[in-house]
Amino acid sequence: MISPTRRVYTVPLPNREPLVLGERTLVMGILNVTPDSFAEASRLIDPGAAIAAAQEMEALGADLIDIGGESTRPGAEAVSADEELARILPVLNGLAGRLRVPISVDTYKADVAAAALDAGAAIVNDVSGLRFEPQLAQVVAGRGAALVLMHTRGRSKTMYAEAVYEDVVADVARELKESLLTASEAGVPLDRIILDPGVGFAKRPSHSYGVLARLPELAAALDRPLLVGPSRKSFMRDAMGGRPAPERDWGTAAAVTAAVLAGAHIVRVHAVAEMVQVVRVAEEIRKSWLMAHG
């Protein structure tokens, strides 16, 4: 399970120092500016509260902040680009000059990505892997931003119907390569792309566990930095006795530990304070294993 190698990548970012991935696992803090986030008991709709939460995440050790204005949980209703922008732009504008860490915008919409990048975001985190709005890649390329391409199938309301795989790791790798090709053809340089296997998206629990357990295979097949986002997701529900999403941080800690040991470059989490500690301890275990095995 422990990956003997984790390649180091340098990801250029606009108007700031490049992001170095692989020297240690980075923690991406989730900032949902939505009224219907699946995983949080409180909603950060008020821009002032969201700005303060982002600053607190940085103070607690987050290496990146991922801001989203539309829930992408299974079954979620889509929102318009105007509504999404109304939620996130006050937060992005309010954070200008207040954060040292890079900001990522969690969107699949080209118009939202363009406005967010103009407001200071440096990364676009596309849960559709360019399958919903391929023109988003041109926006990213034109602004010199980095791009996270996540694996999924179908929209929020239909994704589980498409969770049929011959070999989940081989199938996910093949479909992520298709997203990579789309990005490349639109002019996004390879060194600006990060991949996410989409734990919990269009996957039954066995598929999500399989992806986590076989992450080194995926890394070898794709040769790009990997972001893993297991935080509070429903694939853990049965193993945790049916606990609701806000009570799944212990399960998240186990999944995050597995991801770090398997060589993940970034983990995306809700409970930043707790998961920073989990990541740091898991990194020490990984270092000890590597020392013992040459």
Catalytic annotation, residues: 233, 268
Query: Residue written as tokens 């108007």?
Result: 15
Are 57 and 99 in contact by the 8 Å Cβ rule? The answer is no
Return the bridge partners of 29, or none: 65, 269
CA distance 198 to 212: 10
Are 150 and 198 in contact by the 8 Å Cβ rule? The answer is yes
CA distance 28 to 283: 16
**Residue ranges with strand state E in the chain:** 9-11, 19-21, 26-32, 64-68, 103-106, 123-126, 146-150, 193-196, 227-228, 266-269
